[in-house]
Structure 1
Amino acid sequence: MRRSWSPFNITSVVAGFAFLYLPIVLLVIYSFNGSRLVTVWGGFSTKWYGELLRDQAVLDAAWVTLRVAVISASVATVLGTLAATALVRFADFRGRLLFSGMVYAPLVMPDVIMGLALLLLFVAVDLDRGFWTVVLAHITFSMCFVAVVVQSRLVSFDRSLEEAARDLGCPPWKTFFLITLPVIWPAVAAGWMLAFTLSLDDLVIASFTSGPGATTLPMKIYSQVRLGVTPEINAVCTILIAIVSLGVALAAIVTKRREVQKARDERMAAAGSS
């Protein structure tokens, strides 16, 4: 029997969603405000998006952020997938406890400590701070999230598929790319999206590890917000929200189509066997 929602439950859910998403909705609405005063509505206008396209400093920061996010997410996905495979498939190797601790440590470590530790590392090895130090820093913390996501999929993976491929003479590396990787691909793609989003959003670690010519968009936004919120900032944040929302929507559509295709194949296999 389905229980009906009480007024208290409905009020709690509405208040929770309003607390989370109402500020975002207001930010998007005021990005189309025609007035330069952020809190005063001056009519609908898209002129601040035009101003944003003429702001070369913001465009340069956005380009740096996009390159850092794509590179770091791609490398972190590869390393995180390999780390998850090692933790799941080789459960008894020497040093596993230390390795798993090193993988999970950045998940619970404060960003300030992480950024300071990486800064001291780059200074110790005499590596000039710039674009590539930010990339290395983002790879360091985002690969841990990828490892957790992929590991959760590998735990429930049916290893009899790999064993069948091995019995037919398929080498281990070919088995991984032809059997294992296609099955766990949704988790790998989700890990990439998570790493990409975390890189776009990062401010603290990038502030410690960046240098001249490597100002990311969150750093640029923070430096401008300290002088006061402007309509251009609302426009930038709206574009970031749109990019992340589009990525999440595409990932959900692809996952849904794969599930539908899998269910269709299972029905066809069942009909053929009967």
Structure 2
Amino acid sequence: MPIDAAKAVAAAPRSGEITWDSKDIQLYHLGIGAGTPATDPDELRYTLESRLHVLPSFATVAGGGKPGVISGLSLPGIEVDLARVLHGGQSLTVHRPLPAQGTATTTGRIAAVYDKGKAAVLVMRTEAADADGPLWTNDAQIFVRGEGGWGGDRGPSTRLEPPVGPPDRVVERTVREDQALLYRLSGDWNPLHADPEFAKVAGFERPILHGLCTYGMTLKAVVDTRLDGDVTRVRGYVTRFAGVVYPGETLRIRMWRHGDGEIRVAVSAVERNEAPVLADTVVRHT
């Protein structure tokens, strides 16, 4: 079996130093669709260095996304075909607001390996801290098709009960045709998002948008419309990637307030009969 679950979980964490500055943040924000209209004061918070606010989902690409999914697949106990890999979910805990420039130490490890029968799920955990203490914790759930079935722990269910009643807010966001090409400049170079031939080998009609790009676009929509544009109010953000997005499509983002400090979200692709894109999505906030 290409995945040795016990060996992967027992492997020593990998640590390294990352740095970022305002240019990295601006590039990320542009990659998730910020800057339209370009002179809108609400958009300039994401694009102009003199008034820059950092969307917390930047943590998924800070330092070029290191340690990232591809590097995580080279950890001891893991040997898989990249064409069989899909990003299944993402969980972010924000310990304090992200600075517009900084240096941090990241520690990455395989926190768990689950057996889903037809697939294995790797939980890749990355923790970041600077001189003032913890900054964020990222958990990426990575599906590796065809690698399950060894009788291991199936892991916890991430499915939530559907929100009750109509959404409190619905917005639509257009994915530009070149958005995957721009987003990948923040560090995710998987050819699935750019190379048509590779996408076909992976089973897709054409390159797909990064799941984490949809993740960032959705958080920005929630912050802009439900949190008064205040990025510092975000405390946590979790989602399950329920389907793919193709560049050029329109995202329909539905939001429900769910008690104090929680917003439930569902995202679909308008042009494909509301095909689910993000599900079981929660933004925790102050």
Higher relative contact order (CA 8 A, sep 6+): 1
Alignment TM-score > 0.5, same fold: no
With the shorter chain as reference, the TM-score category is under 0.3
Please identify which structure carries the higher helix content: 1
Please identify which structure carries the higher strand content: 2
Larger Rg: 1
Q: TM-score, normalised by structure 2?
A: 0.24
Q: TM-score, normalised by structure 1?
A: 0.25
